[in-house]
């Protein structure tokens, strides 16, 4: 018996992506920006407001190079934006929760103190 699985078709929103491109980077406030997906396009991340943030090319590349967790440790503002958009941390991975507790970077300290904390001698 052959089972056919329907391929997931992600939501694309050119209007939203163009709007994000015209915004300032949430880290350094420069423009133009790349629409940086929190859940990656390759992982099925849609072009929806809660999944896209404006990052300049330099910070977008850095976020890809070091990952969300280390990027959020380095730039608490990024963590604040993710939380405002409804994302929480599951270990070192951001997960989307529709009803977020909207923690700020102050609430991020419990993650920094967890057993996944980077050692002090390890560079971010």
Q: Assess whether pLDDT exceeds 90 at residue 21.
A: yes
SS (H, E, C) 94-123: EEECCCCCCCCHHHHHHHHCCCCCCCCCCC
Residues facing residue 34 across a β-bridge: 55
**How confident is the prediction for the chain on average, in pLDDT?**
82
pLDDT at 106: 47
| Per-residue confidence (pLDDT) for residue 6, from 0 to 100 | 65
Residue 7 has pLDDT above 70, yes or no: no
Q: What is the DSSP letter of 25?
A: P
The pLDDT score that the predictor gives to residue 122 is 44
50-85 burial: b if 16+ Cβ within 10 Å, else e: bbbbbbbeebbebbeeeebbbbbbebeebbbbbbeb
Give per-residue pLDDT as tens, 67-116: 999 999 999 999 999 999 999 999 999 999 975 444 544 445 444 444 34
User: Three-state SS string across 56-74, please?
Assistant: CHHHHHHHHHHHHHHHHHH
Compute the half-sphere exposure of residue 69: CA atoms within 13 Å on the CB side of its CA: 13
| Band of residue 56 on the pLDDT scale cut at 50, 70, 90 | very high
pTM of the model: 0.72
């Amino acid at each position: 018996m052959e089972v056919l699985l329907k391929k997931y078709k992600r939501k694309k929103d050119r209007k939203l992506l163009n709007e994000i491109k015209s915004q300032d980077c949430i880290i350094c406030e420069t423009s133009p920006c790349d629409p940086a997906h929190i859940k990656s396009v390759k992982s099925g991340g849609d072009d929806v407001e809660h999944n896209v943030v404006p990052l300049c090319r330099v910070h977008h590349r850095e976020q890809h190079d070091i990952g969300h967790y280390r990027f959020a440790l380095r730039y608490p503002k990024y963590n604040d934006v993710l939380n405002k958009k409804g994302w929480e941390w599951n270990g070192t991975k951001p997960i989307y929760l529709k009803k977020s507790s909207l923690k700020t970077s102050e609430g991020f300290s419990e993650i920094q103190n967890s057993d996944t904390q980077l050692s002090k001698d390890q560079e971010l």
